[in-house]
Amino acid sequence: MPAWDPVVRLCHWTLAGLVIFDLVYDDGGYAHRMVGYGAAVVVLLRLGWAALRGHSLKPSIAETRLYVRQLLAGKPPRSHGHDPLGLWMVWLLWILVLLLMVSGWMSRLDMFWGDERIEEVHTVLADLLMTAVAVHVLAVVAMSVIWKENLPAAMVRGRKRPL
């Protein structure tokens, strides 16, 4: 069954590559800055695509509660899109990338010359993003085992087995 369209898949792996690059090459140099802007552009393209195609990306507290109860009971239902818990993580990842872009840009403005606070904010945001990515990947692996479905492969090929 189709799960992720080609634009979503391309955006995902491009974003993952750019974010990992910037977490590794974190000197604030030209490549770091351009790759960081690139990551933010990918997030905006993905959000534009969702708006264009009418993808529902609105997290729901009621659905999340139900899902967590089912998860704790050992029976989380599969889905072809995001699961209700995963959707919060998706937003966290996107928002952190956008805030990193803004704080990275601000840290270079003349207005903040000699002011270390923006750089500190940028560092904290980067640490949060690194932690969120680690949790994201661990959750993907855990759910792949629980559902007996290779979720990373589904994000490559775009298909999941029928519900």
Could you say which of 10, 14, 23, 85 contacts ligand HEM (CB under 6 A)?
Answer: 23
- Residue with smallest beta-carbon separation from ligand HEM: 104
Task: Give the separation between CA 13 and CA 97, rounded to whole angstroms.
Answer: 14
**Binding of residue 26 to ligand HEM (CB under 6 A):** yes
Residue span binding ligand HEM (CB under 6 A) among the ranges 28-36, 58-66, 70-78: 28-36
Q: 98, 60, 101: which is closest to 82 by C-alpha?
A: 60
Q: Least distance in Å: CB of 65 to ligand HEM? A: 18
46 part of the interface to ligand HEM, by CB under 6 A: yes
What is the sign of the dihedral through the CA atoms of 69, 71, 74 and 75? positive
In this chain, which of 15, 42, 76, 99 binds ligand HEM, going by CB under 6 A? 15
| Rounded CA separation 4/158 (Å) | 5
Q: 């109860």: which residue's tokens? A: 69
What 3-state DSSP class applies to 39? helix
Measure the CA–CA gap between 80 and 160, rounded to whole angstroms.
7
Greatest Cα pair distance, the chain, in angstroms, is 57
Residue pair 3/159 in contact (Cβ under 8 Å)? The answer is yes
- The C-alpha angle 18, 130, 138, rounded to 5 degrees, equals 100
Nearer to ligand HEM, 76 or 104 (CB): 104
Stretch that binds ligand HEM, among 13-21, 60-68, 70-78 (CB under 6 A): 13-21
80-99 residues in contact with ligand HEM (CB under 6 A) are: 82-83, 86, 90, 93-94, 97
Q: Where do contacts with ligand HEM occur on this chain (CB under 6 A)?
A: 8, 11-12, 15-16, 19-20, 22-23, 26, 28, 32-33, 36-37, 39, 46, 82-83, 86, 90, 93-94, 97, 100-101, 104-105, 107-108, 119, 122-123, 126, 129, 133, 136-137, 140, 151-152, 154-155
